[in-house]
Amino acid sequence: MGGTGLLAATANATRAAARTRRARAAGGDGTPEQIHLTWGENPATGVVVSWASPEPATRPRVRIGQRVIKAEPRQYTDGINGETVWTYHARVDGLRPGATYAYAVTADNDSDAADPFTATFRTAPHGRAPFRFTSFGDLATPNTAWVLSYGQSAYAVEVVESFQPLFHLLNGDLCYADLNPTVQPEVWRDFGNNNQTSAANRPWMPCLGNHEVEFDNGAQGFTSYLTRYTLPDNHVTGFGGRWYSFRIGSVLFVSLDADDVVYQDAGAFVTGPAALAPAASTGHPAIEPGTSFYVRGYSGGVQTAWLERTLAAGRDDPAVDWIIVQMHQCACSSSATGNGSDLGIRQQWLPLFDRYGVDLVLNGHDHDYERSFPVRGADTNVGHEVATGAVVNTLRPHPVTTTDNGVFDTSQGTVHLTLGCGGTDANLDDYGTDTADGQHQAKVFTQANRPAPTSTADVFTRAGAGAVEDASWSAKRDTSTGYGIAVFDVHPDPEDFGGHTSITVTQYHAVGADPVNPTTGAKGAPTPDYTEFETFTLIRPRRA
């Protein structure tokens, strides 16, 4: 191992030195890195190839077959450290459904121009065809110099490849650059280069989480994210990239930004006692202790209106059986050490999920795995304030069954999965229990937890959720590890379940990866070994 590592390191150093010489000669290093795919407007016929380069690229482009596609450059200057980031986006359209393509990414000042980066990808199938996708959130980077980064992040990317999904859903909190505010571009770079192992071979479709909210980077702090990703058009002026939908076969995927509706304040935050001082070149003033970037309500209801239109159109479309929603924060999480559930989602979006029969909701935010029973409607006035014991209406999602027999008809209720099990160093697989009755118990944010002073001068904190409820919706929780990946196999043909179409879901988990197991106290380490935790099947009647 040691010898091989040394050889590889020597080869890398030689290659890097040669790259630097060539880049200087060409005037800037335009070598592509952080290469990743997203779906185009129609996943059956198009993808977008996106990447970055250390310095501006000259004639950045993608070659695919005989075609050369010019990339659109997009750049931004980080609002805290003042560094400029150069990214490129090439829209590849007019492809055949269900086909495999090889592509190359290069530029005139690509130091690897003689042998540019190449990879292959597959377009989505046309019509009611089976396909597989995978999901987790809260990935971080493998560079442990950064807050919340951890080696599991590399194994998490590799395990996506091992399942060879058509695409991957990355449920927010991508790399936690906001927690490393003076080096945000460097954290994003490590994230992008780690992801490239999989995301250059198949689309990785992200959603925004609370840690994508960065100080001095745009109206909602999303500039780092929005510059790096080209996502399907939501046709909402002023809010591009923040939410979107796409259809593959019989499934409508809807990706939301729950930052817009949650009560919890969990974006960028200066705890103090020191202020956060942006580089002088940015012209931005110091950010004082106790400042948080709270964006709840930023779309003014526009996202929710879009969601309703999108769900209504989906349920109206005879080609759509399934509606699957991706968003970062949770309506149904009972992590005790994590964030818990948020009333904002329950108030604004769960009634729409009920009305239009959303089948499945995929979240991140809590670094664990939890599955709900199918839920529809709400139990009212069943929560209480932790501080006072007063009754509080948490709009607890109502389970339509509490029989955990492994097959759930999601035309009767929506299943929620918490999948914040990507790769951070902060596992949260410690769950709430009501000591009075032994039931699963969830914390619920019912109001904004804005920064408050502590007993230490100039140091501020944000409180956890203030209410609790017996989580009658909570079906299954993985107490053995906070790391895993969910694998979804869509079977559009109804042969197995008498007129029902089905999705088989299997959660694989990385036992031993917890830095500290919250139940046993055992110390663990990153592991490439993912084993099956549970499997279950979702069914619903096939559309005519």
Strand order through the sheet with 33-39: 33-39, 47-53, 84-92, 72-77
Q: How far is the CB of 138 from Fe ion (least distance, A)?
A: 6
User: Counting contacts by CB under 5 A, is residue 173 touching Fe ion?
Assistant: yes
Tell me the window of 160-168, 173-181, 372-380, 518-526 that interacts with Fe ion (CB under 5 A): 173-181
Q: How many Cβ atoms are within 10 Å of 289's Cβ, its own excluded? A: 19
The 125-164 site mask, x for binding Fe ion (CB under 5 A), equals: ----------------------------------------
Tell which one of 36, 202, 247, 365 touches Fe ion (CB under 5 A): 365
Q: Say if residues 326 and 292 touch (Cβ distance below 8 Å).
A: no
User: Counting contacts by CB under 5 A, is residue 367 touching Fe ion?
Assistant: no
The 208-247 site mask, x for binding Fe ion (CB under 5 A), equals: -xx-------------------------------------
Angstrom CA distances, 443 to 36, 147, 330, 367, 449, stand at 36, 25, 11, 15, 13
- Residues 237, 241, 242, 247, CA torsion sign: positive
Q: How far apart are CA 180 and CA 184, in angstroms?
A: 6
Q: Which is nearer to Fe ion, 203 or 267 (CB)?
A: 267
* Among 323, 173, 201, residue whose Cα is nearest residue 259: 173
Tell me the window of 102-110, 201-209, 378-386, 477-485 that interacts with Fe ion (CB under 5 A): 201-209
Q: In this structure, what are the phi and psi dihedrals at residue 86, rounded to the nearest 5 degrees?
A: -105, 125
Tell me the window of 181-189, 190-198, 255-263, 357-365 that interacts with Fe ion (CB under 5 A): 357-365
Q: How far apart are CA 413 and CA 359, in angstroms?
A: 7
Tell me the window of 53-61, 202-210, 423-431, 532-540 that interacts with Fe ion (CB under 5 A): 202-210
The 264-303 site mask, x for binding Fe ion (CB under 5 A), equals: ----------------------------------------
β-partners of residue 27 are none
User: Counting contacts by CB under 5 A, is residue 366 touching Fe ion?
Assistant: no
Q: How far apart are CA 150 and CA 125, in angstroms?
A: 35
User: Counting contacts by CB under 5 A, is residue 368 touching Fe ion?
Assistant: no
Q: How far is the CB of 128 from Fe ion (least distance, A)?
A: 35
Strands, E, within 256-374: which ranges? Answer: 322-326, 341-342, 360-363, 369-372
Q: How far is the CB of 191 from Fe ion (least distance, A)?
A: 15
Residues that bind Fe ion (CB under 5 A): 173, 209-210, 365
